[in-house]
Amino acid sequence: MNSLRAALKQNHLLQSNNVRSIPTISLLLRDSLRHFSTEKEPQSKSSTPIDALLHPPNPDFIYGKLMGISRNTLKSDIINMFEGCKLTPDDIKVDYDKLFLPMAMFLQFSSMSDYILATRELSRKNRYFRLEKSNRQVWDMTTPYNERYVLLQGLPRAAVLEDVERLLSGCYYDPSGLEMFSRNVQSQNARFAKVRFPSQIEAMNAVVRKSGSFCLNSRITARLLQ
């Protein structure tokens, strides 16, 4: 009889302990879920198809086309010129021709008032540039290189992918982002290579280190694509 009472008492204590442990488990689960939900990877301003669905573009964006730029015009020059218009490097895309010579820059303004301010700043500071209205479709069709791509010019006709890879020895680049192509320049077939780098710093390092180097006895130039 005593042993039966002891067994029943022990069972009662176990049940009580299990009941008390439920809130504790629940709290732990909530803390764990909160922990995972707040640890997100930093998101870049460049959008992806999923981002476009979850965060549709601001309908108030105004797009402009800036003409009159040169090969030496930098994004930072435009940001400084349009000071007060809240432009960032991600709000500027460079439009290149087939030889990757810059033809224009497309600008994304957060509001019409910023666009109007830019036109006023332009007339006051620089009359060599011309700014006109553009649209979202043209903006989306323009490739953003974001200073992470390097263009190699002057490659010999006989150059193959392995020759370019040897040229880039010592540089930290994305092998899947290496592309060779040809263009007709003054009735001659010119060879180019476009290389993607994981960061702007790595791309600039490649320009500094490899511009003026030789590929199959031909001197090449390296140029940063904005």
**Where does a domain end: 141, 174, 195?**
141
The answer as to whether 47 is a domain residue is no
Positive or negative torsion for Cα 173, 179, 181, 185: negative
Mean pLDDT of 187-210: 94
The answer as to whether 164 is a domain residue is yes
Domain count, the chain: 2
User: Binning pLDDT at 50, 70 and 90, where does residue 42 land?
Assistant: very low
Mean pLDDT of 128-146: 95
**Where does a domain end: 81, 106, 141?**
141
Residue with tokens 């909160």: 34
Judge whether residue 5 has pLDDT over 70.
no
Query: Same domain for 99 and 169?
Result: no
Q: Strands 188-196 and 92-96, how do they pair?
A: unpaired
Residue with tokens 């015009």: 73
Mean pLDDT of 164-180: 95
Domain that residue 178 falls in:
149-225
**Where does a domain end: 111, 141, 171?**
141
Burial grade of 59 (CB within 10 A; 0-12, 13-18, 19 or more): exposed
Distance (Å) of CA 26 to CA 13, 14, 15, 36, 168: 21, 19, 17, 16, 55
The answer as to whether 170 is a domain residue is yes
The answer as to whether 13 is a domain residue is no
**Residues β-bridged to residue 107:** 64, 92
Query: Same domain for 153 and 113?
Result: no
Judge whether residue 207 has pLDDT over 60.
yes
The answer as to whether 161 is a domain residue is yes
CB atoms inside a 10 Å sphere around CB 194: 16
Mean pLDDT of 22-48: 39
Query: Same domain for 153 and 132?
Result: no
Mean pLDDT of 88-101: 96
If we measure between CA atoms, which residue out of 84, 85, 46, 28 comes closest to residue 62?
85
Mean pLDDT of 75-101: 95
Using DSSP's 3-state secondary structure scheme, residue 9 falls into helix
CATH number for the domain spanning 92: value is: 3.30.70.330
Share of the chain above pLDDT 70, in %: 74
Mean pLDDT of 39-44: 37
User: Binning pLDDT at 50, 70 and 90, where does residue 12 land?
Assistant: very low
What is the structure's pLDDT at 58? Answer: 65
Query: Same domain for 153 and 204?
Result: yes
H or E segment and range at residue 102: strand 102-109
Mean pLDDT of 93-98: 96
What is the structure's pLDDT at 188? Answer: 79
What is the structure's pLDDT at 187? Answer: 72
